[in-house]
Every structure is written in C-alpha cells, then in structure tokens.
A = this chain, B = another copy of it.
C-alpha cells in the first residue's frame, strides 16, 4: 500500500482531515485548556511563561521548555521598553490567529499560498486605566489588514476565505464577543 502525504502551505492536510473526523466521532478530542503564567519583576516589567496545555483531558507532552515572554511598557507609560505591552500582545495574537486560520483552511480547500501578512492597529484611551472619566478601558476599535498571494485562487475565493476565517477565529471571537473572565487573588 502506498500512502500519499498531502502537505499544502506547510499544513498536513491528511492530519487536518483526520483530526476533523476524530472530533466528529468524539467531541472531547476538540477540547483544550490553554495556560500562561507571569511573574512580576519590577515596575511595569513582567516575565511570562507559556508551557503545556490540556488536550482532551490530558496534558500534552510535546513541549519541552516553556516559551518565555517579556512584558513591559514604554517610558510614557512608566516602563523601560523591555518588551511589548499587554495590549500590543493582544493585537499580535489576532494576527497570528488570522494567519493560522487562513493557511489551514486554504490548505483544506486546495488553495496554495505564497505570501501572507497582517497589520493590526487599535485605539486605546488610557483615562479609565488611570482612574479618570473617559471611554471604556479597553480597545475602542481594532483594525486588521491582510495581504495574501496565491497562484491558484481567484480574488473572490481569497476574500471569501478571509470572511470565513473571521467568522471562525478564536481570537477574533474572544475580542468581538464577551468572554466570561473570573479573577481571584490570594494574599501571601
């Protein structure tokens, strides 16, 4: 027996289709619990770690060392520019999410990609953060722009896929629609 491995855009399409079938058979295969942690260092500077996650009720074992991230603010927001700030990370997450959604769905549809980029920007008024009367504490608007090149898809197909990706993007959905956030504090 010969097995044909279909890799498109660097995506293993056979694995993608097998994953979808596995989740159809057992929805638990589609459930994840992701995690991150951070430790305050000084001022606005924090060290972050992203390690293992739970998939289908069990801890995934494929990651060795946790990913390390640095968070800080620019001087105008009391920091020293040792890392991006929290809201910038949020924008970066949206770009990464769009890209993954686009490349995976393109692969499944037989669309080859040769290039893809995203630029994201958002407006923030820090008055509420600083305890002053002002607009909402969070982003008042996010604007995302993508560029994509494909040798075998029409413009219409690529634009339609962009809409599909928006409708199914975990990060976009988490920003565009309310998420329940429960926060507790323990004093040591």
Contact = CB atoms under 8 A, between A and B. Distances in A.
A2 to B, nearest CB: 23
Contacts of A33: 121-124
B127 A182 contact: no
Q: So how many copies of this chain end up in the complex?
A: 2
Interface of A: 9-12, 15-16, 19-20, 23-24, 27, 30-40, 42-46, 48, 50, 53, 55, 60, 62-63, 67, 69, 71, 73-76, 78-79, 81, 83-101, 103-105, 113, 115-132, 134, 136-150, 155, 158-159, 162, 166-188
Given A36-B91, A139-B170, A162-B183, 18 more contacts: A11-B43, A19-B130, A23-B126, A34-B124, A36-B89, A36-B121, A40-B117, A44-B100, A69-B92, A71-B92, A71-B93, A78-B104, A87-B171, A94-B181, A105-B131, A146-B186, A176-B179, A176-B180
